[in-house]
Amino acid sequence: MALLIWSGSADSLPFGITDLFYLSLVFISSIMSFIILLLGIVLLVLLITWAKLNPFLAFILVSILIGLAYGKNIVTITSAIQKGMGDLLGSILIILGLGAMLGKIIADSGAAQKIAGGLMDVFGRKYIMWALLLTGFVVGIPLFYGTGFVLVVPLIITLSYRYNISAVYIGLPMLAALSVTHGFLPPHPSPTALVKQFNADIGLTLLYGMIVAIPVILIAGPLFSLTLKKYTSKPLETFKGRDIPAAELPSMFNSLFTALLPVILIAFHTIVTLTVHTENSFTAFAQAIGDPIVAMTITLLYACYSLGLNKGKNIREVMQPMAEAVKDISMIIFILAGAGGLKQVLMECGISTQIADVLHTMNVHPLIAAWSIAAIIRVALGSSTVAGLTAAGIVAPMIVSSGANPNLMVLATGAGSLLFSHVNDTGFWMFKEYFNLSLNDTFKTWSLMETVVSVTGLVAVLILSNFV
């Protein structure tokens, strides 16, 4: 009561009341920050899902409104948006562009088809699911999710008809592998952007991501598929694959080597960094070729020759699909930029820092906080990329205040961004239509698989955090 009727300055309050006064101000400020952020996220969800606004435009509008709600002038807000966009895209734009070009070459050249066919020959009909799972993981590293989905699903359907096996049973493990690479591993858009936002190391994130990916894929893939044999609906024959003639395909070694070369180069640099503690010409060489931009450039040049020029194509024929690939990811780039702008506005207003301090005071594990926030936004919005990047702007300050491992924070956020794909996610509808399932069965298969990936991903990251 004394606090409510006190008319003097805070410095003249009685002993003990001063602390209470400032604590009350901090508490009220934190509550207001939570309210502003919550309203901003709700508005973002409504603009994208209800108003059908483009996500990039929605990010810009919400960033401006949050800044105004926090009392910032429009010049400060727009400057923050520009800075956030520039900081994020400046470091990942090259990797995203090179990754899209590489994925296009691997798909169009038949390298992905060769990998699938070669693994099928090795595993045989009895272990067809394992062949598809491994194919999904290998081609999922260089291929963006949408491209990978459209590429591998016709293969699944073709094999389903050929061997009279449930397409859902043999196919979902392959799509689980695609989902894991999409959510956890660079050079995919969300994890690549999260590496930048969290100041993580892309090599270590890739290494830890591989460690986490293996148990997650095994649980969400073959183990979960044991419950799927009853789903026997036949996919539409329209979606059966049209194979490139075997004589026109690249060799198995060349296909695998090209798809995995970025991982090999980046992992080589990371291993050298962890094992060799003196700087010399060898470590300098490893650092050079293991830099993500250099690694992707080397791989793309090799792919242009080995999968293009060496197969009799001229330089124009090799370059044309690469230009189309960049067009395909243009909207993804703008969405990433919008998320970077929102993150910078939150930082400029101090909202992220205040929320991080509150979560830290509440003793919420930073990995769990990152997963939870990303998961909530994912369920609300549908897009895993938008969910991960929106969560990043909220939890990034927690890394400094809590001392959390930024590489693991990338993985935890990525895991949360995959939770429970449902009717607001295009992947949900693509799976339903391609596999000719009812709405209810799509929930029981696709949505549940994505949830298993998300939850087991968090558990795997928490276990790994005890060792790194």
194 half-sphere exposure, CB direction, 13 A CA radius? 41
Residue 105 makes CB contacts below 8 A (sequence gap 6+) with 111, 300, 303, 304, 307, 308, 318, 321, 322
Q: What pLDDT, in 10s, does the model give residues 87-118?
A: 888 868 888 888 889 888 988 888 888 988 88
The answer to whether the CB of 266 falls within 8 A of the CB of 206 is yes
Tell which wins on pLDDT, 336 or 76: 76
Q: What pLDDT, in 10s, does the model give residues 360-410?
A: 667 789 999 999 999 988 987 778 888 898 888 888 888 887 889 999 999
For residue 30, what pLDDT band results from cuts at 50, 70 and 90? low
Q: Is residue 336 predicted with pLDDT exceeding 90?
A: no
The answer to whether the CB of 212 falls within 8 A of the CB of 164 is no
Residue-range domain boundaries for the chain: 92-333+353-464
Q: Is residue 316 predicted with pLDDT exceeding 80?
A: yes
366 half-sphere exposure, CB direction, 13 A CA radius? 24
Closest CA to 366 of 417, 414, 400, 342: 400
Closest CA to 299 of 54, 432, 462, 101: 101
The pLDDT value recorded for residue 460 is 98
Alpha helix positions (H), 198-314: 202-218, 224-225, 252-275, 281-290, 292-306
Residue 418: both structure tokens together: 């995959």
The pLDDT value recorded for residue 7 is 42
Closest CA to 232 of 179, 171, 153, 174: 171
For residue 26, what pLDDT band results from cuts at 50, 70 and 90? low
Q: Using the Cα atoms of residue 222, residue 225, residue 226 and residue 232 in order, give the sign of their dihedral.
A: negative
Give the pLDDT mean for 243-251.
85
Give the pLDDT mean for 264-269.
90
Q: What pLDDT, in 10s, does the model give residues 403-420?
A: 899 999 999 999 999 999
Residue 24 makes CB contacts below 8 A (sequence gap 6+) with 3
Cis peptide before 406 (omega within 30 of 0): no
464 half-sphere exposure, CB direction, 13 A CA radius? 27
What is the spatial distance between Cα 241 and Cα 155, in angstroms, rounded to a whole number? 6
Q: Is residue 335 predicted with pLDDT exceeding 90?
A: no
Q: Which of 28-32, 237-241, 333-337 has the highest mean pLDDT?
A: 333-337
Q: Using the Cα atoms of residue 133, residue 135, residue 140 and residue 143 in order, give the sign of their dihedral.
A: negative
